[in-house]
């Protein structure tokens, strides 16, 4: 039994060496092909395009909350302005009415 399992191991090792040699030969044939450079450049361009697309989506996702925050702050600023303007008018009217009559109205 041991010899048959040992033969299988040796056979697998031989197959592995043959597969590795075949893979290396295939890599060499592919890399020496005249259009290999074009293939690599096209592949890199495709990766760049996908990367740029992902970055633009990320930028949009990051800008959206910022724009919402700015809109909220501007809205609050306008409301505070209105409150101070209304308060200033009522204070001015109150002081005008007290000075014209000579008595202070509480």
Whether residue 19 is contained in a domain is answered as: yes
Q: Is the dihedral of CA 18, 21, 25, 30 positive or negative?
A: positive
Neighbours of 86 (CB within 10 A): 10
Q: Structural domain tally of the chain?
A: 1
Helices (H), the chain: 2-31, 36-101
Residue 77 lies in a domain: no
Tell me whether residue 43 is in a domain: no
Domain containing 14: what range?
1-32
Which tokens in the block code for residue 104? Answer: 């202070």
**Whole-number pLDDT of residue 86:** 82
* pLDDT computed for residue 89 by the predictor: 75
**Max alpha carbon distance in the chain (Å)?**
122
Q: pLDDT tens for residues 14-72?
A: 777 778 889 999 999 999 999 999 999 999 999 899 999 999 999 999 999 999 999 99
In a domain, 104, yes or no: no
């Amino acid at each position: 039994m041991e010899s048959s399992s040992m033969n299988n191991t040796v056979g697998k090792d031989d197959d592995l060496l043959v597969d590795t040699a075949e893979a290396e030969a295939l890599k060499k044939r592919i890399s020496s092909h005249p259009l290999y450079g074009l293939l690599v450049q096209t592949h890199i361009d495709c990766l760049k395009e996908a990367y740029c697309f992902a970055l633009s989506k990320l930028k949009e996702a990051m800008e959206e909350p910022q724009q919402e925050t700015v809109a909220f702050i501007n809205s609050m600023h306008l409301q505070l302005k209105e409150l101070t303007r209304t308060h200033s008018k009522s204070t001015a009217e109150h002081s005008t009415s007290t000075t014209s009559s000579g008595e202070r109205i509480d």
